[in-house]
């Protein structure tokens, strides 16, 4: 991958640039937002993977590290920098002079060689940082048979609505989805975090991982709204990263314990079109699976973890249950109702232990669907129309 185009830093800490993806000979515009310590807060890229993590942003940031001085005077930040051509990776990091007639490689690496290396690194999981940098250029998101929330609010019908009440009526009518469409979306968004379509489909919707936060909230606070709209970048939080990195281990543990193999799935929508759930997999015809890898108790047994008040499992005579007051309980119930399945296998994995709890759908929980939908329409959606998304 080579980088070309422009790089400039503004006073509030923004790096902008263009990256040429050599495999496709296509340019992508990249924006990197920095905090006061010049640490990355967020990135944007025009590529299909640009809404989450992409190698183009990494290329621009590496260039910035080596070419933007930390000792620039403050007044210089106010002055626009002249556009300059960005060096390629080979120019930025020139190889040391080679001895005559000597090469550590029998031949230049081909695309097939790079893909082999990528597949080998991928086997070691996300701990191998080079893996995602070497990953192939992502394909554009598969067109979805549903309207995104942004599609609706930017549509002519919504913009022509004369009052907020009529806008809400327009949303309610146009966000609805049929059962056949729900099944198609769940298939097209399989892969979840690695699927651009999944990110696109869930944006602006209320998802099961946040159901508990809404149902247990005593009042609607700005921080709650920000969390629900994904304004907090949690990718760098150790607990989140630990859970994502070890999800595969938890799934393997489940298979070893039960002899069941989960099937990958995507986003399941409620027929209202504003609620969604993404279980970690489907099991058979009547179950979903949800995995948790607690970072705080990562080196403890499940029994040891249950000795802490903050832990979500309860132990009695060697049997474990999930606390019905914890947000994970609402997440699991939401997944079962939206996928129309009867059971949820709740898997808790640590480096020392793992347990599988089979949770049955609680029919009395169903009234929460109405509560969550009303919250979305009357609390969350108005914030989206005000530009919070």
342 and 212, same domain (yes or no): yes
For 10-40, what is each residue's pLDDT tens digit? Answer: 546 788 888 877 555 678 888 888 877 777 8
Domain count, the chain: 2
Q: Is 23 helix (H, G, I), strand (E, B) or coil?
A: coil
Give the best-scoring range by mean pLDDT among 43-47, 50-54, 138-142, 312-316.
312-316
Using an 8 Å Cβ cutoff, are 62 and 43 in contact? no
Residue 32, domain member (yes or no): yes
For residue 45, is pLDDT > 90? no
β-sheet bridge partners, residue 347: 291, 356
pLDDT in tens, 331-345: 999 999 999 999 999
**Percentage of the residues of the chain whose pLDDT score is greater than 90:** 54
Band of pLDDT at residue 75, cut at 50, 70 and 90: very low
Would you say 65 and 51 are in contact if contact means Cβ atoms under 8 Å apart?
A: no
Please tell me the predicted confidence (pLDDT) of residue 70: 47
Same domain, residue pair 378 and 269: yes
Q: Is residue 378 part of a domain?
A: yes
CATH of the domain at 178: 3.90.320.10
Q: Are residues 17 and 160 in the same domain?
A: no
* Residue 98 predicted with pLDDT over 90: no
Instruction: With 0.75 as the threshold, say if the pTM is over it.
Output: no
**Domain span including residue 58:** 9-67
Check: CB of residue 57 under 8 Å from CB of residue 45: yes
* pLDDT averaged over every residue in the chain: 84
Burial zone of 25 (CB within 10 Å; 0-12 exposed, 13-18 middle, 19+ buried): exposed
Is there a single domain that holds both residue 167 and residue 56?
A: no
Q: Which of the listed ranges 53-57, 106-110, 134-138, 218-222 does the model predict with the highest average pLDDT?
A: 218-222
Most confident range, picked from 8-12, 104-108, 189-193, 369-373: 369-373
- Residue ending a domain, among 24, 41, 67, is 67
d(CA 134, CA 117): 8
262 compared with 38, residue with greater pLDDT: 262
**156 and 284 inside one domain:** yes
Residues 54 and 149 in one domain: no
**CA quadruple 39, 42, 46, 51: dihedral sign:** positive
């Amino acid at each position: 991958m080579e980088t070309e185009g422009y790089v400039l830093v503004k006073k509030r800490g923004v790096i902008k640039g263009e990256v040429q993806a050599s495999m496709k000979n296509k340019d992508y515009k990249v924006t990197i937002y920095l905090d006061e310590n010049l640490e990355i807060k967020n990135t944007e890229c025009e590529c299909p993977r640009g809404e989450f993590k992409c190698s183009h942003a990494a290329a621009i940031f590496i260039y910035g590290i080596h070419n933007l001085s930390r000792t620039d005077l403050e007044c210089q930040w106010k002055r626009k920098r002249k556009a300059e051509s960005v060096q390629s990776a080979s120019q930025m990091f020139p190889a040391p002079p080679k001895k005559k007639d000597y090469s550590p490689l029998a031949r230049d690496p081909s695309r097939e060689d790079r893909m082999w290396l990528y597949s080998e690194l991928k086997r070691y999981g996300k701990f191998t940082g080079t893996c995602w940098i070497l990953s192939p250029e992502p394909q554009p998101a598969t067109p979805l048979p549903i309207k995104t929330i942004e599609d609706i609010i930017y549509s002519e019908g919504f913009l022509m609505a004369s009052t907020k009440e009529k806008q809400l009526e327009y949303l309610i009518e146009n966000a609805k989805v049929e059962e056949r469409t729900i099944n198609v979306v769940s298939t097209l968004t399989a892969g979840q975090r690695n699927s651009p379509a999944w990110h696109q489909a869930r944006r602006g919707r209320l998802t099961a991982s946040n159901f508990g936060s809404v149902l247990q909230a005593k009042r609607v606070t700005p921080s709650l709204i920000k969390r629900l709209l994904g304004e907090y970048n949690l990718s760098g939080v150790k607990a989140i990263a630990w859970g994502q990195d070890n999800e595969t281990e938890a799934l393997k543990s489940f298979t070893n314990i039960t002899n069941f193999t989960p099937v990958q799935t995507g986003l399941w929508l409620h027929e209202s079109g504003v609620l969604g759930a993404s279980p970690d997999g489907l099991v058979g015809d009547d179950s979903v699976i949800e995995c948790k890898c607690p970072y705080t108790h990562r080196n403890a047994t499940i029994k040891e973890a249950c000795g802490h008040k903050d832990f979500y499992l309860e132990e009695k005579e060697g049997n474990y249950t999930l606390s019905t007051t914890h947000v994970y309980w609402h997440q699991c119930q939401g997944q079962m109702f939206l996928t129309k399945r009867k059971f949820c296998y709740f898997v808790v994995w640590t480096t020392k232990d793992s347990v599988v709890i089979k949770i049955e759908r609680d029919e009395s929980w169903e009234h929460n669907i109405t509560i969550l939908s009303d919250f979305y329409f009357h609390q969350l959606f108005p914030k989206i129309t005000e530009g919070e998304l």
